[in-house]
Amino acid sequence: MIVKDKNVIREITPLSEKDCFYIADRRKSEFTYPMHYHKEFELNFVINAPGVQRIVGDSAEIIGEYDLVLITSPDLEHVWEQHDCKSKDVREITIQFSPQFMKTLLSTNQFDRVMKMFDKAQNGLSFPMQAIMKVYALIDELPDTKGFYAVTRFLTLLYELSMFTEEARVLSSSSFAKIQQHSDSRRVQKVQDYINQHYKEEIRLNQLADMVGMTEVSFSRFFKLRTGKNLSDYIIDIRLGHATRMLVDSTMSIAEICYESGFNNLSNFNRIFKKKKLASPKDFRDNYKKKRILI
């Protein structure tokens, strides 16, 4: 069931309060479901659908033969759309499960890996091929497994996937998904918090290095080691996340969004946006809104 809320499709899933999870195992020749979001966690597995475009937040990618994505944010829009897919024999297995149930069941040391995976998957998490091959049999057989054994198989599936959390790719930017980033390092967390609050302003390397008592060279190396990104790329991604969110949620002009998101040059903003998002800001806005609106 879907309802229309401010032009965004909010899905009401069949999951009841007495269910651990809900599985939909579909054989299909096309993707027709619109852009949507829902409060439940979701693990979506697509087989034999090369050419489909997967959109999660402000991430848009063309998938191959296999695609496995975990989403644990209640507000993160997502869709798998037909795009250039020609396959007439697609299989899609969607598993939706309650965040309350999982947090109660898994808030133990033994499932610490799984909880860390759920935290990372708030932005959408795409698993690598080695992870898919590792859990393929579990996912394939889960729709036909009933009762207690279905629950144990599902928990095993989540645990096996959690072994690949570091290799899995985060999809949507945190600033678009409105997710607060957390770091094990207090220094990195301090810098991230500052950037999140001051991304509209000019942010200098020496300013951040002084903030955490490090030299510029040491801080640059330390920040990249901890975040996987150099400082300039990190700041650009934060600004682009805010820009893409404004593009889809507001009627502001592209020039207004450029300056409001911290870029001080419109042509530079357009160039960086197209390089990162593979579309101009105008095309991104137009395409995204077409997918969000239910006609």
Whether 2-170 shares its CATH topology with 175-292 is answered no
Q: Is pLDDT above 60 for 222?
A: yes
Token pair 């009627």 is found at: 251
Strands 8-11 and 36-37, bridge-based pairing: parallel
Q: Per-residue pLDDT for 287 more than 70?
A: yes
pTM: 0.81
Percent of all residues in the chain with a pLDDT value above 90, rounded to a whole number: 68
Residue 9 — very low, low, confident or very high, per pLDDT cuts 50/70/90? low
Calculate the average pLDDT of the chain: 89
Of 2.60.120.620, 3.40.50.1240, 2.60.40.10, 2.60.120.280, which CATH number belongs to 2-170? Answer: 2.60.120.280
Say what the pLDDT of residue 198 is: 94
The pLDDT tens digits of the residues spanning 82-115 come to 999 999 999 999 999 988 877 777 777 778 899 9
Does 170 or 288 have the greater pLDDT score?
170
The full set of domain ranges for the chain reads 2-170, 175-292
Where b means 16+ CB within 10 Å and e means fewer, 186-205 reads: ebbeebbeebeeebeeebee
Q: Return the beta strands (E) in 73-216 as ranges.
A: 78-81, 90-97, 125-126, 169-170
12 confidence band (pLDDT: 50, 70, 90): low
What is the residue whose two structure tokens read 């959408």? Answer: 124
In this prediction, residue 295 has a pLDDT band, given cuts at 50, 70 and 90, of very low
> For position 98, what pLDDT does the model report?
86
**Per CATH, domain 175-292 is 1.10.10.60:** yes
Per-residue pLDDT for 137 more than 90?
yes
pLDDT range class, residue 8, cuts 50, 70, 90: low
